[in-house]
Amino acid sequence: MTQKLSRRDMLKLAAASAAAVGAGLVPTIRIFAAPPGQDTVTLRFQENEEQYAKVVEAFKQQFPNVNIEFVNVTGVDHAEVASKILAQLAAGQPVNIGYAATEATQLYAGEGLALALDQRVMDNKDELAEYFADVSPVLVETDLYEGSLYQLPRDFNAANMYFNTALLKEAGLEVPGEEWTKDDFVEYAKAMTGIGEGKDSFGYGWTNRLWGSWTPWFFVNDTNFLSEEKAPGGEWLWENFYAGDPNAEGRGGGYRWPAPQANNPKMVETLEFVLSLTKDGYAPEATIGGGDLLQGFFTSGKLGMTPAGGFWSGGLINAGMNVGDFDVQFWPKWVSQRHQLGVGAAWILNGAENEDQAWEFVKFSSKKEVMEMIGFFGELTGTTPVRRSMNDEKRYSKSGPANWHVFYDTVDKRPDTGPIPAPVFSIEETNIYTRYTSSATSGEMSAQAALDAMQKDLEDLYARNA
Amino acid sequence: MSSSAIHYPPEHRRNFIGRLLAADTISGVKRQRMLLGYLFIAPTVIGLFVFVIGPMIGSFGLSFYKWNVFRPPEFVGLANFQRLAGDARVFLSFKTTFILVAMTVIMLEGLALALALSVYRLANRALSTFFRTAYFLPVLLSGAAVAITLGYLFNKDFGVINYYLGLLGIPKIPWLTSSDTVLFTISLTTVWRNLGFTFIIYLGGLSTMPGEILEAAEVDGAQGWQKLLRITLPLLSPTILFAAVTDIIKMLQFFDEPFIMTRGGPGDASRTVVMMMYESGFGNLDFGYGSAIALVLFAVIMIVTGIQFYLSRRWVFYG
Amino acid sequence: MATAVQNTAYKVNADVQRPRGWKGIKWTKWISLVFLTVMAIITLMPFVWVVSTSLRNSVQSFTVPPKWIPTDMDFSNYSRVFDEIPFWNQIGNSFIITLSVVVGQLVTASLAGYAFARLRFPGRNVLFTLVLATLMIPGQATIIPVFILISRGLHLNDTQWALIIPALATAFGTFLLRQYFKGIPDDYEEAALVEGANQWQIFTRIYLPLASPGMAILAVLTFNAKWNDYFSPLIFMNTKERFPITLGIVDLQGYMATGSISVVLAGIVLSTIPVIIIYILGQRYLVEGLMAGGLKG
């Protein structure tokens, strides 16, 4: 990449400048650069090198002529990471293997960037049977798009409720049972407000984003700001890998969110409830962006409860908390106890060279013994592994809450758990959602007004992408 | 070497270019300076053509397309501009940017000037070095680092600032979470980081002011405010203009602080033009619409600069 | 250059009549001293908070009343910075990128500034207006085409060159130095011509040293802007080892921002130390350069 400018490059530069000067800039762009003709194949892999060092080492023993080059992309949320990956595609430096969470799964699939894995999965049916048997169909379904599978899930996080046990204790409470309700929650929030070392704690806090924001609340109120339905198809997967699994019944070809419905009465009711927590003084004002602030408050004993998944546990230990300082439970019941979740996994660039090698790597990394090598699944849990068998006492012994089993029970015992709404144009959708959420939390708009405005922007968005 | 060459006068020994540029003839000097002129400006002019003017024209071209990188670009004529004309959010982002720029630049120039005048009057060298260093320290931090840090300090419920205000009996101020205060907070943050630099520029301006004039003014009985208003400020006006223009151009491109502190919120209350552009271009991958916003920003900056030059001709005192 | 700065500064300062001593201290002086002190406290407070919080376990990062004096001296946050990002690589990248751009801009801008100020050639005014016009084009407005040019035209995406090359030519620097060159009286050149100096010598030996205050300002401005640049690395750089430190700091916030605040603050402290050292080393030249200010005659 750092080679000297050759005459050909100069010509290219001249051509590019000319193209830039004319309005013809656009059509000269090709997405996929011609690969170098080499025997050794290099795969550009969107991951953190430290997390995958052992995996790559093991892979290279089996495939010595495949090089893995890491592309480490960071961002405050998955939508931001996705836009950076797309910008790299525009730069002609595509990744061969990307990593997408639910936020971007349909974006890559729907834009034709990700490779459908159906045929390859079926070709390796025997080998992969063990994998699917170990992974809940709830998780797999989120990686289907219009009947085809685009990713083999690696990790997931459903929004469960985290508790600061010191504040619980001070309030004279215990971690509630699985069946606790929204009303119980309010009592908990109230009791854990205004206590702690500085007598300034809040019972509950959340961050304004798509995942784990106030999203869990409208899930348990059995509604959504986009209508939700299932695409047809996917039988090939369910019949071949999940025959006889009761949790696989009624699954289809992936989620669809065909229309916005942000201002329906149940959404308004939900937002009003969430705002009332701040109004009553049980919750601080939610801010947009990273969860580090929330984590800081939680670890320093100023926050009683907050939505988070398995990915939080390792971070809390890293931040100085000890095992036992926090615990976790299902999200409280309202109309339902349906949880919202996000699933992360690798995807393969469609139409690029070396698809076969990329598939080998993806398949290789889905083996249990290989997944165990991933840094995120090390001593401190960086995120929840999708394999049921990897969610055990041992895994959470150093970074786990006592109720660590809640993480996987969320998909096994609450199989109606579903993905956060993230259609093809999820980046813009997320922006609209967080924008009007902040208008409401700041008190600038009433719940109704904010959701009306959200609905209007979403309608425009759908019209533009029709 | 033929012996005859030795006797040639100097200019005959030169080749054509040498003769053309001979320093010892008047036209030679002129030509030499001409050629040198082109050589000297070449790197800058070429660089600006390739990386500023060309891309600007490229943006112009892009604004007629609908293009999201992976679908083939589609020529849409003026559709992006039509959408822009009806986009209340873009208008709001311009208003937000102007308010931010005005607030920040006024605070920045005012405070920096006051600090510079005060430090300049200090006779104690150690003290003046201390203040200079203290004010300059934030300049060394990145906008990202400052935004992260002050974001924590300005937090409504747990921030250090509200804690101390609370001790004074002031209720919690929603620094970053209310549209009434958020622009002021971002301005304060930006002023905090940039104050030291503008201050040093003013201090420099003050130090180079001709001492005789000040002395003479004092002899004539000009004291205190009178001296400041009649003598010091007019003498300093070229520096003030320079600092203000630099700051305004910098602030019109407001991005790091609001992007990191509020992501444009609450609602759109702190969304600047560059943020709108970034979100359209790199967030929503609508390169055409992003480019159209960029062009409007360009037009606005052109108008602002025009006004500035007009004002500076009328008001700035060039000694 | 350093000597030149000192010489000029000396000359200029010699002319300046500083207000004399503490005799006749008036209440206005006390007010200004109080004002200066309050402003210094406001300026320094966040630094103290950053340092003391970075030295505490993050479980205590939000204790009230805030603890200003770092009694815990917990350096674990600092060692975690080195665990989580390739700190030395990233600091090195920042230096390479920043210094290349500073040197490059000093060269291109002093050449162009001199030419526009003192050399006469056809088209000079048109070209200068064009250069000035580019001042109005916000760098971020052209980022999409520049990005395409750098990555697809030059194949320099994700290399330091992507951050260096587009920044080498500077309209602002050219404008700034042109002002300095214009402010230098013509007598110098005439005297030099009489002594037989050629045009290159006149530029390098006479005008360049005299414009060094302007160059110092440009250098500092550029250093500051480039070192702290967050926007363009965000767009051009992908590989952790090639990041400048500004991206590294944001990286510390971790996956879904699960990094700890104390570690982020420790990273901010570490990344600021080199700049502070440079500032301390260069302070004399910097401040004297800026103090020597306009040379406006």
Note the pLDDT tens digit of each residue in C268-292. Answer: 999 888 888 877 777 766 666 665 5
Using the predicted structure, report yes or no on whether residue C58 has a pLDDT greater than 80: no
| Chain-chain contact of B70 with A89 (C-beta, under 8 angstroms) | yes
Interface of C with B in 158-217 (CB under 8 A): 165-166, 168-172, 174, 193, 198-200, 203, 217
Mutate to test the interface with C, among A48, A318, A381 (most CBs of C within 10 A): A318
More confident residue, A393 or A32: A393
Tell me which residue of B177, B312, B179 sits closest to B248, measured CA to CA: B312
Is some CB atom of chain B closer than 8 A to the CB atom of A247?
no
The continuous run of DSSP H or E covering C113 comes out as helix C87-118
CA–CA separation, C202 vs C68, rounded Å?
A: 56
Task: Please state the separation of Cα C87 from the chain's center in Å.
Answer: 21
| Chain-chain contact of C19 with B123 (C-beta, under 8 angstroms) | yes
Is it true that the peptide bond before B10 is cis, omega within 30 degrees of 0? no
Tell me which residue of B76, B284, B75, B103 sits closest to B194, measured CA to CA: B103
Is some CB atom of chain B closer than 8 A to the CB atom of C254?
no
| Chain-chain contact of C260 with A315 (C-beta, under 8 angstroms) | yes
More confident residue, C55 or A93: C55
Torsion of CA B110, B112, B118, B121, to 10 degrees: -120
| Average pLDDT for C233-261 | 78
In chain C, whose CA is at the least distance from the CA of A5? C154
Residue A24 tokens read as 């013809």
More confident residue, B187 or C80: B187
Residues facing residue A154 across a β-bridge: none
Residue A161: its pLDDT value, please? Answer: 97
| Average pLDDT for B125-137 | 89
| Average pLDDT for B100-119 | 93
Contact between A63 and A359 (Cβ < 8 Å): no
Interval B151-172: pLDDT, tens = 888 988 878 899 899 999 999 8
| Average pLDDT for C142-147 | 84
Number of H helices, E strands in chain C: 15, 0
Taking contacts as CB-CB distances below 8 angstroms, the residues of chain A near C152 are 12, 16, 29, 91-92
Interface of B with C in 93-152 (CB under 8 A): 111, 114-115, 117-124, 130-145, 148-150, 152
Question: What values do phi and psi take at C167, rounded to 5?
Answer: -95, 0
Interval B40-91: pLDDT, tens = 999 999 999 999 999 989 888 989 988 876 678 889 989 999 999 989 999 9
Residue B208 tokens read as 């180079």
Q: Helix, strand or coil for residue C131?
A: helix
3-state SS track over chain B: CCHHHHHCCHHHHCCHHHHHCCCCCHHHHHHHHHHHHHHHHHHHHHHHHHHHHHHHHHHHHHCCEECCCCCCCEECCCHHHHHHHCCHHHHHHHHHHHHHHHHHHHHHHHHHHHHHHHHHHCCCHHHHHHHHHHHHHHHHCCHHHHHHHHHHHCCCCCCHHHHHHHHCCCCCCCCCCCCCCHHHHHHHHHHHHHHHHHHHHHHHHHHCCCHHHHHHHHHCCCCHHHHHHHHHHHHHHHHHHHHHHHHHHHHHCCCHHHHHHCCCCCCCCCCCHHHHHHHHHHHCCCHHHHHHHHHHHHHHHHHHHHHHHHHHHHHCCCC
Is some CB atom of chain A closer than 8 A to the CB atom of C42?
no
Residue found by looking up tokens 């011509």 in the block: C193
Q: Quote the minimal CA–CA distance from A378 to chain B in Å.
A: 29
Q: Please tell me which chains touch C, using 3 or more CB pairs under 8 Å as the contact test.
A: A, B
Q: A36-40: long-range contacts at Cβ-Cβ below 8 A with a sequence spacing of 24 or more?
A: A39/A65, A40/A65, A40/A66, A40/A67
Residue A209: its pLDDT value, please? Answer: 87
| Average pLDDT for A360-389 | 93
Q: Quote the minimal CA–CA distance from C71 to chain B in Å.
A: 18
From the number of C-beta atoms within 10 Å of its C-beta (0-12, 13-18, 19+), residue C34 rates as exposed
Residue A97: its pLDDT value, please? Answer: 94
Taking contacts as CB-CB distances below 8 angstroms, the residues of chain C near A1 are 155-159
| Chain-chain contact of B157 with A442 (C-beta, under 8 angstroms) | no
Taking contacts as CB-CB distances below 8 angstroms, the residues of chain A near C156 are 1-2
| Average pLDDT for A386-396 | 93
Mutate to test the interface with A, among C85, C147, C256 (most CBs of A within 10 A): C256
Question: What values do phi and psi take at A98, rounded to 5?
Answer: -100, 175
How sure is the predictor about C15, in pLDDT bands with cuts at 50, 70 and 90? Answer: very low
Residue B315 tokens read as 């008001």
In chain B, whose CA is at the least distance from the CA of C244? B142
Residue found by looking up tokens 């924590």 in the block: B152
How sure is the predictor about B140, in pLDDT bands with cuts at 50, 70 and 90? Answer: confident
| Chain-chain contact of C257 with A290 (C-beta, under 8 angstroms) | yes
Range with the poorest average pLDDT among A115-124, B23-32, C16-25? C16-25
> What pTM value is reported for the model?
0.83
| Average pLDDT for A99-116 | 93
Count of CA atoms in the C-beta half-sphere (13 A) of C296:
22
Using the predicted structure, report yes or no on whether residue B244 has a pLDDT greater than 50: yes
Residue B221 tokens read as 């009985």
Q: Which amino acid is at A414?
A: R
The percent of residues above 70 in pLDDT, for chain A, comes to 90
Is some CB atom of chain B closer than 8 A to the CB atom of A456?
no
Dihedral sign from CA coordinates of B262, B263, B266, B272: positive
Residue C40: its pLDDT value, please? Answer: 95
Using the predicted structure, report yes or no on whether residue C228 has a pLDDT greater than 90: no
Residue B301: its pLDDT value, please? Answer: 79
Is some CB atom of chain B closer than 8 A to the CB atom of A201?
no
Using the predicted structure, report yes or no on whether residue C62 has a pLDDT greater than 80: no
Residue B22: its pLDDT value, please? Answer: 58
| Average pLDDT for B210-239 | 71
Judging by DSSP bridges, how do beta strands A287-288 and A207-208 pair with one another?
parallel
Taking contacts as CB-CB distances below 8 angstroms, the residues of chain C near A314 are 258
Residue B280: its pLDDT value, please? Answer: 85
CA–CA separation, A379 vs A357, rounded Å?
A: 30
Residue A264 tokens read as 């329906």
Residue C136: its pLDDT value, please? Answer: 73
Residue A70 tokens read as 């890491």
Residue C1: its pLDDT value, please? Answer: 33
Is some CB atom of chain B closer than 8 A to the CB atom of A438?
yes
| Chain-chain contact of C120 with B33 (C-beta, under 8 angstroms) | yes
Q: Which amino acid is at A199?
A: K
Residue B194 tokens read as 């940039």
Interval C197-216: pLDDT, tens = 888 888 888 889 888 878 88
How sure is the predictor about A465, in pLDDT bands with cuts at 50, 70 and 90? Answer: confident
Of B157, B179, B285, the CB nearest to A284: B157
How sure is the predictor about A308, in pLDDT bands with cuts at 50, 70 and 90? Answer: very high
Residue A181 tokens read as 């309700």
Residues facing residue A333 across a β-bridge: A181
More confident residue, C209 or B217: C209
Most confident of A8-22, A218-232, B24-38, B115-129: A218-232
Q: Quote the minimal CA–CA distance from B245 to chain C in Å.
A: 11
Of A84, A289, A296, the CB nearest to C61: A296
How sure is the predictor about A458, in pLDDT bands with cuts at 50, 70 and 90? Answer: very high
More confident residue, C64 or B247: B247
Residue A195: its pLDDT value, please? Answer: 93
Is some CB atom of chain C closer than 8 A to the CB atom of B300?
no
CA–CA separation, A283 vs A289, rounded Å?
A: 17
| Average pLDDT for A15-24 | 40
| Chain-chain contact of A76 with C260 (C-beta, under 8 angstroms) | no
Residue A16: its pLDDT value, please? Answer: 43
Residue C161: its pLDDT value, please? Answer: 93
Q: Tell me the residue ranges of DSSP E strands in A311-373.
A: 326-329, 340-348
Residue C291: its pLDDT value, please? Answer: 57
Of C61, C151, C158, the CB nearest to A300: C61
| Chain-chain contact of A23 with B60 (C-beta, under 8 angstroms) | yes
DSSP A391-423: -STTTTTTT--TTTHHHHHHHHT-TT-EEPP--
Of A12, A72, A295, the CB nearest to C258: A295
Range with the poorest average pLDDT among A75-84, A319-328, A418-427, A448-457? A75-84
Residue B26: its pLDDT value, please? Answer: 66
The continuous run of DSSP H or E covering A101 comes out as strand A97-101
The continuous run of DSSP H or E covering C95 comes out as helix C87-118
| Average pLDDT for C245-262 | 74
Q: Which amino acid is at B134?
A: A
Residue A384: its pLDDT value, please? Answer: 94
Using the predicted structure, report yes or no on whether residue A368 has a pLDDT greater than 60: yes
Of A15, A29, A72, the CB nearest to C239: A72
Taking contacts as CB-CB distances below 8 angstroms, the residues of chain C near A45 are none
Of A1, A297, A383, the CB nearest to C158: A1
Is some CB atom of chain B closer than 8 A to the CB atom of A21?
yes
Using the predicted structure, report yes or no on whether residue A17 has a pLDDT greater than 60: no
Question: What values do phi and psi take at C114, rounded to 5?
Answer: -65, -45
More confident residue, C56 or C122: C122
Residues facing residue A385 across a β-bridge: A155
| Chain-chain contact of A295 with C239 (C-beta, under 8 angstroms) | no
- Angle between helical axes of B88-121 and C27-54 (0-180°, round to 10): 120
CA–CA separation, A425 vs A462, rounded Å?
A: 9
Taking contacts as CB-CB distances below 8 angstroms, the residues of chain A near C253 are 76, 290, 292
Judging by DSSP bridges, how do beta strands A152-158 and A340-348 pair with one another?
antiparallel
Residue A151: its pLDDT value, please? Answer: 97
Judging by DSSP bridges, how do beta strands A66-70 and A41-45 pair with one another?
parallel
CA–CA separation, A313 vs A208, rounded Å?
A: 20
**DSSP letter (8 states) at residue A181:** B
Q: Quote the minimal CA–CA distance from B291 to chain A in Å.
A: 12
ipTM for the predicted complex comes to: 0.79
| Average pLDDT for C21-39 | 76
Of C46, C114, C131, the CB nearest to B40: C114
Question: What values do phi and psi take at A385, rounded to 5?
Answer: -70, 145
| Chain-chain contact of C154 with A297 (C-beta, under 8 angstroms) | no
CA–CA separation, C180 vs B236, rounded Å?
A: 16
Tell me which residue of C167, C163, C162 sits closest to C150, measured CA to CA: C162
CA–CA separation, C104 vs A464, rounded Å?
A: 45
Is some CB atom of chain B closer than 8 A to the CB atom of A463?
no
Contact between A43 and A361 (Cβ < 8 Å): yes
Residue A245: its pLDDT value, please? Answer: 94
How sure is the predictor about A433, in pLDDT bands with cuts at 50, 70 and 90? Answer: very high
| Average pLDDT for A343-349 | 95
How sure is the predictor about C147, in pLDDT bands with cuts at 50, 70 and 90? Answer: confident
| Chain-chain contact of B70 with A444 (C-beta, under 8 angstroms) | no
CA–CA separation, B54 vs C281, rounded Å?
A: 40
Using the predicted structure, report yes or no on whether residue B24 has a pLDDT greater than 50: yes
How sure is the predictor about A292, in pLDDT bands with cuts at 50, 70 and 90? Answer: low
Q: Quote the minimal CA–CA distance from C228 to chain B in Å.
A: 4
Is some CB atom of chain C closer than 8 A to the CB atom of B56?
yes
Residue found by looking up tokens 């540029």 in the block: B21
Residue C258: its pLDDT value, please? Answer: 59
Using the predicted structure, report yes or no on whether residue B319 has a pLDDT greater than 70: no
| Chain-chain contact of B283 with A83 (C-beta, under 8 angstroms) | yes
Q: Could you tell me which residues come within 8 angstroms of residue B71 by beta carbon, excluding any fewer than 6 positions away?
A: A111
Taking contacts as CB-CB distances below 8 angstroms, the residues of chain A near B67 are 26
Is some CB atom of chain A closer than 8 A to the CB atom of C62?
yes
Range with the poorest average pLDDT among A155-164, A193-202, A293-302, A411-420? A293-302
Residue B315: its pLDDT value, please? Answer: 66
Of C151, C161, C240, the CB nearest to A91: C151
Residue A216 tokens read as 């869990």
How sure is the predictor about A286, in pLDDT bands with cuts at 50, 70 and 90? Answer: confident
Residue C115 tokens read as 């030419």
Q: Which amino acid is at B49?
A: F
How sure is the predictor about A32, in pLDDT bands with cuts at 50, 70 and 90? Answer: very low
Residue B224: its pLDDT value, please? Answer: 67
Tell me which residue of A269, A257, A195 sits closest to A229, measured CA to CA: A257
